[in-house]
Amino acid sequence: MANTPSAAKSARQTVTRTLQNKRVLTGLKSHVRKVRAAFAAKDKALAAAEVKTLASLADKAAKTGRIHKNKANRQKSRLNRQLSRLQAA
């Protein structure tokens, strides 16, 4: 239990931030699963659209500090490389 009003406020803010972070990170993970499913189905158009959406979500998460910018760039790079392979095949 918080001993001071500022500590109580900090605890409330932590709960709010944790929920916001969890919502964004869960959405990112879900979208990665959608992209991988599109790759597995060999659906080029759907995969391209999903990769583009995921890139936007990852950039927004990195901009707000939810994930590290290098992680966002790494995810985008790997998925774009897979997309290139799928479109070349």
Residue pair 51/35 in contact (Cβ under 8 Å)? The answer is yes
Domain range spanning residue 10? 5-88
Residue pair 33/54 in contact (Cβ under 8 Å)? The answer is no
Per-chain mean pLDDT for the chain:
96
Q: Can you tell me the distance from the alpha carbon of 30 to that of 22, in angstroms, rounded to the nearest whole number?
A: 12
Residue 87 is predicted with a pLDDT of 93
How many domains, the chain?
Answer: 1
Give mean pLDDT, residues 25-48: 96
Band of the pLDDT at 70, cuts 50, 70, 90? very high
Count how many residues are written for the chain.
89
The reported pTM is: 0.85
pLDDT in tens, 1-32: 889 999 999 999 999 999 999 999 999 999 99
Which DSSP symbol is given to 37?
H
Which CATH number fits the domain that encloses residue 59? 1.20.58.110
CA-atom Rg of the chain in angstroms: 18
